[in-house]
A and B are shown apart, each in its own frame.
Chain A
Amino acid sequence: MQAFVDSLIQQGYFTGMPTQVVYAIAMIAAAFAVLSFFVAPLAGVTSWLERRVWARMQSRVGPNRVGPQGILQWLADGIKNLLKEDLIPAAADQLLFPLAPYIVFIGFLCTFVVIPFGSNLIVADLDIGILYLLAVTSIVVVGILMAGWSSNNKWSLLGGMRSAAQIVSYEIPAGLAVLSIIFLAGTMSTQGIIKNQGWAPWDWYLFNNPFTFIAFFLYFTAALAEGNRTPFDIPEAESELVAGYVTEYSGMRFLFFFFAEWGNLYVIGAVATILFLGGWQVPAVGDGLIEGVLQFVVFFLKAYLWVFVAMWVRATLPRVRVDQLMALCWKYMVPLSFLCVIGTAAWMVVFPHGNRWASVGMFVLGVVILLLFFGRVRYQIRHSKPELYLRPYI
């Protein structure tokens, strides 16, 4: 991004303007482009797809009226929420209540600075990339606590407190899982981590050694918990807390929270792709534009697969209790993530150049696990003899 702006300045555009002003304009333009052409449609379509996927999995219909198969439902929802009255309860804190959704949204949107879309397509390839991502995500907690407290409602307050406790706890296993990858890559830059991997699955950090394999699942579980997703959505558990910290919100402010939640699903998938799944690495085919498009498609598909898995998990698993949630984090995931960090370090000492056979073996093991899983699903479907509708839509 900076290189692109530099080349534009070199070519004689923007003559007579201070370079800092040009950079500032470029930053605002990049933020605008990422928000309106990528994040907003992505979060919207994800919201529609999630409802359709759940509906399929739970034998319901789901939204299918607006546009073909209901794909424009998110636009209708957006317009509806924009036109709604911006309601601020009389008992709510008049200063902090309107402010909270923006803080949550800032924390979520700032992560897109370091998420790449291709080898050249990134807003800024920061040297501290992944650490920056963890740091800006921690702002979300403050916004959620603010929303919970300022609503002046006990459900909101309980939801906000639960959410903050959950995010702060699950940051530890997530951070430690990321740390073991930083060991391997020797850099925190997102592009640097991707460049150290290859396009082939056995060159991914996921299959580098047994410890990173565990770290991937730790990261994904912890990230789901940080994103307040089922089975960890106790902050907005409908059966106990109405809607948690968003109970009092309506209209666009309500939508901002869910915008951040759906967009955050993609961030989870993208970080998993950067760290474990080889990012945008593609085999050397074509050049320039073709390669760029292919990189974008590969990265997006890998990231979106995990968005789908998150929807799948949400549609099938019940939510955990608060004590189970904390016990899972502190008694199992934190020790396991420490094991991953130490194990990765030990592996690097024993095999300074990596172990190719172990990687290929891990890859084969992964494929076998996946095949067994699908075999099991097939078996269940055959033997339970459910009424199946195998058309892709209802």
Chain B
Amino acid sequence: MEVGTVVFYLIALLVVASAAMVAFSHNIIYSAFSLLGTFAGVAGIYVFLGADFVAAVQLLIYVGGILVLILFAVMLTHRITDVQITNRSAGVVPGLIIVGLLFWLLYETITTTPWAKAKEIAYAATSAKIGDQFLQSYLLPFELASIVLLAALIGAVVLARKEMKG
């Protein structure tokens, strides 16, 4: 087996194992911290695919932003570790059926899709190309996305601020 393949499987193992930890851990803090492995592993897969810019942004946004936000929410919630998270209204059997169906669906999709395989991954710099594409072909979606984000930001401020009297 090639060295590259070994590295890929190691990264994939990291992602899947920490994702499993997120799902199965009884302690919600452990789940939150396991996300670090998942996010970092996905960044590793991006590096593996030659997407250097996306990998750095993945770390910056997901680890530096979203993970910290989740950790804050978990830690600020009073006695969150004592809460029984399991939903008792739906039992184990319906859950298993849904999981089985979902798994079968995913399996069928993965096996029947004709996956395009890149013959050769070019490890070239991508950030300049991404910038050009954003400001040329994809200018409108880019601007729309920023307007959506701005609206979300203003909404958050409106929700969070104190009501002024008078």
B133 in contact (CB, < 8 A): no
Q: A142 to B75, Cβ gap below 8 A? A: no
Shortest CB distance A24–B (Å)? 8
Question: Chain A residue with minimal CB distance to B4?
Answer: A20
A131-B57, A132-B56 given; A141·B127 CB < 8 A:
no
Q: A149 to B75, Cβ gap below 8 A? A: yes
Question: Chain B residue with minimal CB distance to A175?
Answer: B60
Q: A139 to B59, Cβ gap below 8 A? A: yes
Shortest CB distance A360–B (Å)? 31
Q: B64 to A131, Cβ gap below 8 A? A: no
Residues in B with CB closer than 8 Å to A132 are: 56
Q: A188 to B60, Cβ gap below 8 A? A: no
Residues in A with CB closer than 8 Å to B36 are: 103, 139, 142
Residues in B with CB closer than 8 Å to A188 are: 127
Question: Chain B residue with minimal CB distance to A110?
Answer: B59
Shortest CB distance A105–B (Å)? 15
A18 to B3, CA, bound (A): 9
Interface residues on A, range: 20 to 34
B19 in contact (CB, < 8 A): no
A20-B4, A149-B75 given; A168·B52 CB < 8 A:
no
Question: Chain A residue with minimal CB distance to B126?
Answer: A127
A201-244 interface code vs B (CB 8 A; 1 in, 0 out): 00000000000000000000000000000000000000000000
Residues in A with CB closer than 8 Å to B17 are: none
**Quick one: which of B3, B30, B60 has the most chain A CB within 10 A?**
B60
Residues in A with CB closer than 8 Å to B33 are: 96, 142, 146
* CB-contact partner of B127 in A24, A95, A128, under 8 A: A128
A161 to B73, CA, bound (A): 11
Interface residues of A, dominant DSSP: helix
List residues 129-172 of chain A with CB under 8 A from any CB of chain B. 131-132, 134-139, 141-142, 145-146, 149, 157, 161, 164-165, 168, 171
**Quick one: which of B30, B56, B67, B125 has the most chain A CB within 10 A?**
B56
Q: B3 to A141, Cβ gap below 8 A? A: no
Question: Chain B residue with minimal CB distance to A99?
Answer: B33
* CB-contact partner of A138 in B4, B53, B59, under 8 A: B59
Question: Chain A residue with minimal CB distance to B76?
Answer: A161
B14 in contact (CB, < 8 A): no
In the assembled complex, 27 residue pairs joining A and B whose CB atoms fall closer than 8 Å, in A order, are A20-B3, A21-B3, A24-B3, A96-B33, A103-B36, A128-B53, A128-B125, A131-B56, A131-B60, A132-B56, A135-B57, A135-B64, A137-B64, A138-B59, A138-B63, A138-B68, A139-B63, A139-B64, A142-B71, A145-B68, A145-B71, A149-B71, A149-B75, A157-B75, A164-B68, A164-B72, A168-B65
Interface residues of B, Cβ cutoff 8 Å to A: 2-4, 29-30, 33, 36, 40, 52-53, 56-57, 59-60, 63-65, 67-68, 71-72, 75-76, 125-127
